Amino acid sequence: MSTQLYSHIPNKPILTILYQDDYLVAVDKPPGLFVHRSFMDKDETYFALQLVRDQIGKYVYPVHRLDRPTSGVLLFALTKEVAQKMNAAFADKSNEVNTSMQRGQVQK
């Protein structure tokens, strides 16, 4: 889904599942979608966590977050134990690899 999400959209969005196995599911999060409920979401109807859970029929645990305006791959664990291991791996900055695409001009 490449369009911005707004709370007034009557149809429930369907997220593109990029990868799924017995432990993890990765989805394409569009811009404008919160990962989970927060104090900033008073008027929002849909959240990535809820959408993924409903799509695959299993409870999911977020492994990391992407800011609301950010699009990209969002990873969920399918068990609490896997989520804990993945959270630990993400917290270990020695393994961190960040790749991003930017638009605009680089200032010299």
| ∠ Cα 11 17 19 (to 5°) | 170
Which alpha helices (DSSP H) does 1-108 contain, by range?
48-56, 80-91
Q: Return all residues near 91 (Cβ < 8 A) that are at least 6 apart.
A: none
> Which residue out of 28, 43, 67, 92 is catalytically annotated?
67
Q: What distances in angstroms separate CA 104 from CA 70, 101, 107, one per listed residue?
A: 16, 10, 9
Q: Is 41 a catalytic residue?
A: no
List residues with catalytic annotation.
67
